[in-house]
């Protein structure tokens, strides 16, 4: 971990965007209808833009001359700070949609709060990102509602995806020393406030979608401190292939 909590925080925000972009970008050409190819590509593009802002800021704070690209393509898996939710498998569209929804529903209130950050740079990045993310949430909420309250099969698939992924939502709202340090400075919100908002939002959204969040599940942790699931190593290996095979070249 970095001694500077702001670096850690920027890496967390940026890595969430990077890993999720890598996952949703892969759907282009493989989604159930061409409109979804287009929509997921849009989300991926927004997230790559946000990745550049957050990781660019982390690199500057670090002061070792590492760019956003260096951080994306040249760190090993233990240095990634994304939450476990975004690295979950990408092989089913229902799960990809549910993962997006569970993330967007956190990302949006988080960025909204960060627009009021005492750290001007964070506020600026959040200001730019929140506009894009409000569209992401609108889309994922809409699809979750329609598919949850759709056919028996679509309902079952969305419920199964929710059952599987819900256990990764707790991490996003469980504060550690980094979150506490930023909240103490007014640079980031108290995660308990985000948790309250998330819970209320989910209650109404899931009810509308006729879905039920599982109760009493163990909430998995680890991504924020670099202890990931096995999946992430493969994802990173694929993403970094060119930079590892041809080090130091310009493309």
Contacting residues toward another protein, per CB under 8 A: 21-22, 25-26, 28-38, 41-42, 44-45, 48-49, 51-52, 68-69, 72-73, 92-94, 145-147, 149-151, 153-155, 157, 238-239, 241-243, 246, 249-251
> Which is closer to another protein, CB of 212 or CB of 237?
237
Residues 152, 154: Cα–Cα separation, whole Å: 6
> Which is closer to another protein, CB of 41 or CB of 61?
41
> Which value, to the nearest 10 degrees, does the dihedral of the CA atoms of residues 61, 20, 174, 206 take?
150
Token pair 């990634």: residue: 80
> Which is closer to another protein, CB of 5 or CB of 56?
56
In this structure, what DSSP letter does residue 220 have?
A: P
> Which is closer to another protein, CB of 18 or CB of 173?
18
Number of H helices, E strands in the chain: 10, 0
* Shortest distance in whole angstroms from residue 38 CB to another protein: 5
Please give the structure tokens belonging to residue 204.
């109404």
* Shortest distance in whole angstroms from residue 141 CB to another protein: 13
* Shortest distance in whole angstroms from residue 208 CB to another protein: 11
Residue closest to 161 by CA, chosen among 100, 220, 99, 217: 99
In this structure, what DSSP letter does residue 167 have?
A: G
Give the count of beta carbons closer than 10 Å to the beta carbon of residue 70.
Answer: 14
User: Radius of gyration (Cα) for the chain, nearest Å?
Assistant: 18
> Which is closer to another protein, CB of 73 or CB of 220?
73
* Shortest distance in whole angstroms from residue 161 CB to another protein: 12
9 burial level (CB within 10 Å; 0-12, 13-18, 19+): buried
* Shortest distance in whole angstroms from residue 207 CB to another protein: 15
Residues in the chain: 251
> Which is closer to another protein, CB of 182 or CB of 211?
211
* Shortest distance in whole angstroms from residue 107 CB to another protein: 19
């Amino acid at each position: 971990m970095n001694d500077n909590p702001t670096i850690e925080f920027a890496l967390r925000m940026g890595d969430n965007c990077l890993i999720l972009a890598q996952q949703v970008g892969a759907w282009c050409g493989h989604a159930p209808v061409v409109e979804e190819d287009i929509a997921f590509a849009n989300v991926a593009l927004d997230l790559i833009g946000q990745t550049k802002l957050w990781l660019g800021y982390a690199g500057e704070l670090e002061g070792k001359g590492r760019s956003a690209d260096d951080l994306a393509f040249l760190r090993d898996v233990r240095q990634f700070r994304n939450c476990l939710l975004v690295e979950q498998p990408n092989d089913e569209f229902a799960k990809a949609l549910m993962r997006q929804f569970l993330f967007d529903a956190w990302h949006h209130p988080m960025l909204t709060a960060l627009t009021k950050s005492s750290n001007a740079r964070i506020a600026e990045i959040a200001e730019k990102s929140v506009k894009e993310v409000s569209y992401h949430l609108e889309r994922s909420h809409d699809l979750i509602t329609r598919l949850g309250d759709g056919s028996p099969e679509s309902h079952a698939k969305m419920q199964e995806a929710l059952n599987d992924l819900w256990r990764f939502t707790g991490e996003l709202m469980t504060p550690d020393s980094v979150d506490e340090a930023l909240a103490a400075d007014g640079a980031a919100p108290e995660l308990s406030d985000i948790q309250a908002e998330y819970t209320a939002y989910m209650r109404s959204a899931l009810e509308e979608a006729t879905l039920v969040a599982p109760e009493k599940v163990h909430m998995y942790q680890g991504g924020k401190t670099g202890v990931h699931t096995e999946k992430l190593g493969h994802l990173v290996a694929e993403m970094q292939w060119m930079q590892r095979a041809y080090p130091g070249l310009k493309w």
